[in-house]
Structure 1
Amino acid sequence: MKKIVMTASDALGLAGEMSMHFGHCSHFVVAQLDDADRLVGAEVVANPFADAHQPGQLPAYIQSLDADVVLAGGMGAKAIELFACNGIEVVTGARPGVEETLDAYLAGELNGASQCAHAH
């Protein structure tokens, strides 16, 4: 079983819109995939740190969800580094829709992470 966590700007799950910045999303969509990378379930969880967070809080929260991969529009260098240290793959450059982003990742069209250039 593989878990992919995606940043969302709403609570619509796979039908929702991606949040383009990891640290400011209102929700996460957690997709569960079987060993053949087929979607077997998805749940929406509210971001407990949507209003404010300290460095490291969000990566620790995502790790607590047993994530294997995080898909986001953009992410800061420190978060990318913390995920890498914990063996969680980060992929940035998301598509507008949550399901569209997941499909692109599974098709091999999205890979790698580049950090956001702006400071927080």
Structure 2
Amino acid sequence: MKKIVLTANDDRGLSGEMSMHFGHCSHFVLAQIDSDNKIASAEVHPNPYAERHEPGQIPEFIKSLGADVVVAGGMGAKAIQWFNNLGIEVVTGARSGVAETLDAYLDGMVAGVSECKHEH
């Protein structure tokens, strides 16, 4: 089983809205994908670091979920590097909905990564 984590703005799972900023999403949706590239299950996890986090905390949390891939609307260079070091594939360029984004990823329509260039 492949495990894909998607960023979400709510706790509605696959019915939810994607979060366009990785570090500040309120929830993560963990989808398990079977050998036929179909969604076997999905569960919601609150982001324990949504309000405040140190570099590496969120990637380590996502690794603890067993993720193979993380999909977000956008992600900064430091987070991308953390995931690369942990062996987790990063994909950016989400659609508006969690299910829509996951389907697009599974169909090869959402792939690759581009770094966010935002100011804090």
TM-score range relative to shorter protein = over 0.9
Q: Does 1:82 align with 2:82?
A: yes
Q: TM-score, normalised by structure 2?
A: 0.98
Which digits, 9 at most, give the CA deviation of each residue in 1:41-75, with x for residues without a partner? 00000000011000110000000100000000000
Amino acid of the structure 1 residue aligned with 2:10: D
Where structure 1 has 5 or more consecutive residues not aligned to the other structure, the ranges are: none
Q: In structure 2, what is the equivalent of residue 60 of structure 1?
A: 60
1:47 and 2:47 are equivalent in the alignment: yes
- Deviation of residue 38 (structure 1)? 1.1
Tell me the distance in 2 between the aligned counterparts of 1:70 and 1:119: 22
Structure 2: gaps spanning 5 or more residues:
none
* Structure 2 match to 1:28: 28
CA distance in 1, matches of 2:81, 2:66: 17
Equivalents in 2 of 1:84, 1:55: separation in Å?
A: 14
Please list every run of at least 4 consecutive aligned residues from structure 1 whose deviation after the TM superposition is greater than 3 angstroms.
none
The letter of the residue matching 1:53 is: H
Q: How far apart, in 1, do the equivalents of 2:93 and 2:73 lie?
A: 5
1:3 aligns with 2:3: yes
SS at 2:53 equivalent:
coil
Q: CA deviation at 1:36?
A: 1.9
* Larger deviation, residues 81-90 vs 5-14: 81-90
How many residues are matched?
Answer: 120
Within 1, Cα distance between the matches of 2:106 and 2:71? 11
Identical amino acids, percent of aligned pairs: 66
TM-score normalised by the chain length of structure 1: 0.98
Tell me, what secondary structure is at the counterpart of 1:66? coil
> In structure 2, the residue corresponding to 1:91 is in which secondary structure?
strand
**Residue type of the alignment partner of 2:48:** P
